[in-house]
Each structure stands twice: as C-alpha cells, then as structure tokens.
Amino acid sequence: MFWYLQRSDREEQRATLISDMLWLEQSLRFVLDHNEDLLGRFDPQRIARRETFEAHAAPLVTSNSGVIQVLWLAPSGEKLDAYPPVADAPSVASPATGAATQRLAGSVAHAVYGPPYPVGSDWQFDVLVPVFRSGELAGIAVGVYSIRRLLADTVPWWIAERYRIAIVDQSGQRLGQRSNIAELETDNDYQMPFDPPGHGLILHATPYRSATPMAGRVIMTGLAFLAALVLFSLWTLRRHVQGRLAAESALQNEVAFRKAMEDSVQTGLRARNLDGRITYVNPAFCRMVGFSPEELIGRLPPMPYWAEEYLDETRAMHAKVLAGEAPSEGFEIKLKRRNGEIFDALIIEAPLIDSQGRHTGWMGSVVDITERKRVAELARQQEERLQASARLITMGEMASSLAHELNQPLAAISSYATGCRNLIAAGAPQSEIDGAIAKCQQQAQRAGRIIRRIYEFVRRQEPKSEPCDIGILLADLVTLLESEARRQRVRLQRDIAPDLPILQADRILLGQAILNLMKNGIDAMSQTDEAARQLTLRAALHDGQVLISVADRGCGIEPETAAQLFEPFYTTKQEGLGVGLKICRSVVEAHHGRLWFEANPAGGTIFHIALPLPAT
C-alpha cells in the first residue's frame, strides 16, 4: 500500500510537471513569436532617423520579454543602428551572428535564430528577422536575447517555486537557470527541446523535493511501526517453532548417529557402574565374546567371558579398575568366547562422567589383538630370516671391500720388502734395512686395522670417534702416494690450510676414503699427456665446515656415467669391482658429511668432501 500510494503520488507529480512544462513551452513560444512579429514590423524608411528607431526598439527591450538589445543591419550585414548602444549596455556584446546566418535569413524570408554564445557569466542568442519592401530585402532586424533575462522575465513565480528551470546545450552545460536553494529530486526531472531557438538547446525542469505533511508522516510511521511489530512477532514465533523443531531433529539425529556409530565400530564398548555391574555393551563386544546384550547387561562379576585358567589375574585387574588404578595406556588380558576359545584382548578403561559431572562408572574399550599378536610373531620370525640373509650379503660385501681396500697396504708391503732385499744385496747399513722393515711392519699393522674397522663398519656399527688432525692425515696420505704418483708420472700438489681444526672422526676409515679418491684421480690421468698430469689436494674451512677437494686432470665423467657413479658394483675400470666410491660415500655420510663431484674447469673432475666441525 505504501508503495502504491508513493507511486500514485509520483505519477501525479510527473503528470503535473509535464503539464506545467507544456504550458511554459507554449508561453515561451508565444513571447518569441510576438517578438518576431514586432521585429518584422520595422519600417526601413521611418527608422532611418535615430529617434524613430529608438521609439520602435524601446518597447521590445523594456517589455520583460528577454530582449536586451535591438540591432538594425543593412542587407549587406553592416550594423546601422543599435538600441541601447553598446556604450549604454556594457553587458551586451556585439552580435555573434555570422554572415551565413544573415544570408539564410534573407533567403528563407522569415526569422532565423543564431547559435548561443557566452557573454561574461551569461549566454545570449540572436533572432534575425528579414524586412522586405517591394519584394526586396530592405534590412534585418536583430533581437539579442539574454538567456538569464529570458527565464527571469517569462517563467512565472509559481513554476519557479516548484521547479528549477534551466536551458542546457547538447553537452549538458547549463546556459542559464532560474532556481532557489531547495533540495532537488534529480530522479524525476523532465526535459524538452527549446524551440524555436533550436541549435540543440533543451528546456530542462527539475522539481524541488517537497516536504511530506506531518499528519501523513505520523500515519505512515504508525502503520510502518505496527506492520514491523506484527512481522517481528511472526518472525519471533516462527523462529521459536523452528528452534524447537531443529532441537528435536538434532536430538533425534544425534541419538541415531551415536547409535549407528556405536553399532558400526569394530572396537567393543562396555560400560559398568561403580559396583562393577554391566550397564551397556555394543554389538562389537557381543560379537567378540559371543553373548547377547540381554545375557550381559545387569551381570556382576564373575563375568561369563572370563577365562577360568586366568581367573585370579582377571579378578585382580578388575579390582584395580574399580579402584581407579588401571594403567591409562591400557592392559592386555585373556578372555573367553562363548564357544570356549581363548583370545587376547587390549582393554582401555576411562571414567564415565554424567552431565552433572559425577563419576558414575567406567567405560572400557575392548580390542581383540589375537590376530595382531600372531602377525607380530610372524614379523619377528621374518625379521630373523632377513637378518640371516643380510649377514650373508654382508659377508660378500666384506670380501669385496677387503679385496679393494687392502690392495694399497699390501702393495706397499711388497714394495718395502723388495727394497729390503735390494738393500741387503747391496750391503746397506743395518739402520737403513731396519727403517724399511719398520715401514713394512707399519703397513702390515695398517692392513690389520683396516680389516678390523671395515668389519665393524659392515656390521652397521657407528664409526670409531676419536680426535683426528686432518692436516697430518692428509700429509700422511700424500707421502703414501708419492711412490705411486712418481710411477704414473703424476705431480702431487697440496694446498692444506694450516689452521684446520681437530675433528672427531675415524682416522682409518676417513683416510681410506680420501686415499681411494686420490688413487682414482691418478688412475683417471693414465691417458692424459704427461705434462698435464697433476693431482691437487686442497683442504680449508668453508661455511663452518672442513672442505677437502681432490682435483685431477683426467678424462672427466660423462653425464650418463655420473648418474650411476655411486651405485654399488658399477665401475668404468676393467679390473674394478665398483664398490670403492660407494664405500667412500658411506664412510663420509657415517661422519655426518657429504661427498659430491663436479667438472674441473682445467679438465678432469673434482671430488669434494664436506665434514662438519665438532660442536663446541
């Protein structure tokens, strides 16, 4: 009803607006046509004198019709006279009417309006009325209109009280208006072409927002309040009914959900009161023991599913549960099915608290772990078989590792033994022979240590951790390889920083890993030109680690080889076993380090070992 009344009122206002605008448009047209008629009555012979022109032009200017100046033009367009003169009317500019408009007026033989033009803060337009005598153009009478003056003179007060009347151009710019400061209803405006001036001018009316009568406001406010009160009451009642329905539905769904959940779980649930009497069992527990709920609910100990063979143990645990001393992680117990079968059960007991927070009993979850224990026993037996197989594989790895790692100390023993024989044959002094024999003995002891430590490493034990001076270890390795390097015509260069820290490491295994990398670098340069054969050993501190690098100038590593380089039993040597680099990486990783390689910019390969510093 409110919407209908408001719509009817707006339609009535709209109809009134259109009616008023049509009246105003007819009124303006009458004024303009009347002025055209007066301008067309100019007599060229009589207005040649100044007094006569003023007598004809003065009524137009003073008649409150929007005309602020009258001009008289010769047929050629020359201005012959003006009233009032420009000096007497400073707000009036010279006519902006061009020669084309003048020719048009003379050719069509009736009034022609020129386009609007600005003059200060006002806009003006001209009307050109040709005057003919004896069929010849005798002159052109021009009326200069001020848009602001035209609206002020022709728009009646009762229209100005209702609407803001404005004349706008095609771009929407207001050229003049008659209005007051009241608030506008911009969504209910109306516009129509402003003819006969034309040139895209539009007569635009915007109604003022009228105040609603106080009585109407009170009635509408009261009706709105009553309607809101009724709607609120209905909404409250509906909400209350919906709340009750939702609560009942939620309760039913919750009960059904809990029942379905308890019935579908595979874990047995059993509730007992403080006296040990069974108050609830779920289907899973009944299936587990083979008794129905009717046979169990309400029973006191001893229970029919207690195993006679373990009755004392079961009674003792039952007493602990009722006393609140059952282990929180649960306990295992032997129970009996209805058919007499004994099974293992894991029971976890928790206090049963009601809605008032009172302790009313105990809720136990029972899981049949018979199958789990059987699977665990099978897994244990399988693990023992796997360990036996692993020991056989480890024995094979030991054989390969021993053969690979003992080759160097045995070769050194052979070389020192040959040297001893040569010294004895040459009649060398006993001191020199003793030195060679001592070195031979050291290499034999070193071979023994290697066997012992590799055996311990293969058994997956932690490497032996002891203080190890990396600088001394690397110097010993260079000394050990000097003879092999001379035989292969390889120059050994070392760049070992003097401030290397003492690491906690297995000196034997770490030395074997580095020595293996150096030996591989020497072997990789077998096809390199002798002048370029150089093996560089570097060691320095880098990013909180000890970085050891072994760089050769050999043939390098192909991309397809790099992907498999650290895989066991993969080798590029004809006589190799393919376990050296695998053992090296295992040794480095056992020291919590990292082993990797990259291409040498000078040709060949650089192997890097990064070892962490000891914790301080």
pLDDT digits (tens, 9 = 90+) for 242-284: 989 888 888 888 887 877 777 777 888 899 998 889 999 988 8
Q: Which element (helix H / strand E) includes 359?
A: strand 359-368
Q: Give the model confidence (pLDDT) of 151-197 as tens digits.
A: 988 899 888 888 889 999 988 888 988 887 666 777 778 899 988 88
Can 2-207 and 265-368 be said to share one CATH topology? yes
Question: Cβ distance 242 to 336 under 8 Å?
Answer: no
Q: Which is nearest to 485 in space by CA: 408, 572, 565?
A: 408
Are the C-beta atoms of residues 491 and 453 closer than 8 Å to each other?
Answer: no
* 325 within 8 A of 344, measured Cβ to Cβ: no
CATH code for residues 465-616: 3.30.565.10
- pLDDT of 214 higher than 80: no
More confident of the two residues 500 and 48: 500
Segment among 115-129, 206-220, 478-492, 571-585 with least mean pLDDT: 571-585
Shortest CA distance to 141 belongs to which of 37, 27, 30, 31?
Answer: 37
Q: What is the arithmetic mean of pLDDT over 231-237?
A: 93
Q: What pLDDT is attached to residue 26?
A: 92
Instruction: Answer yes or no: is pLDDT of 535 > 70.
Output: yes
- What pTM was computed for the model? 0.38
β 594-599/605-612 pair status? antiparallel
- pLDDT confidence band for 237 (50 / 70 / 90): very high
CA distances from 222 to 66, 212, 228 (A): 51, 15, 10
Q: How far apart are CA 399 and CA 100, in angstroms?
A: 118
**For position 50, what pLDDT does the model report?**
65
Report the alpha-carbon distance of residue 94 to residue 144 in Å, rounded. Answer: 9
Tokens of 275: 């006296």
Please, which pLDDT band fits residue 128 given cuts at 50, 70 and 90?
very high
Q: At what angle do helices 370-405 and 407-425 cross, to 10 degrees?
A: 30
- 501 burial via Cβ count (<10 Å: 0-12, 13-18, 19+): exposed
Range 237-243 average pLDDT: 91
Are the C-beta atoms of residues 345 and 331 closer than 8 Å to each other?
no
- The per-residue pLDDT for 387 is 44
Give the residue-averaged pLDDT of 325-342. 88
Kindly list the domain boundaries of the chain, sorted by start residue: 2-207, 213-263, 265-368, 374-461, 465-616
- Mean pLDDT score across all residues of the chain: 82
Question: pLDDT tens-digit profile of 403-440?
Answer: 656 676 777 788 878 888 887 888 778 777 787 788 88
Mean pLDDT across the stretch 293-319?
A: 89
Whether 398 shows a pLDDT value over 50: the answer reads no
Residue with structure tokens 């760049």?
A: 495
Does the pLDDT at position 397 exceed 50? no
**Ranges 71-85, 135-149, 553-567, 590-604: which has the least confidence:** 553-567
**Backbone phi, psi, residue 193, to 5°:** -60, 140
Q: Which has the higher per-residue pLDDT, 211 or 13?
A: 13
- pLDDT-based confidence at 86, cuts 50/70/90? low
CATH topology of domain 2-207: Beta-Lactamase (3.30.450)
Sorting pLDDT into bands at 50, 70 and 90, what band is 13?
A: confident
Q: What is the CATH number of domain 265-368?
A: 3.30.450.20
- The dotted CATH code for 374-461 is 1.10.287
Q: Which range among 114-118, 512-516, 576-580, 587-591 shows the weakest confidence by mean pLDDT?
A: 576-580
442: exposed, middle or buried (C-beta count within 10 Å: 0-12, 13-18, 19+)?
middle
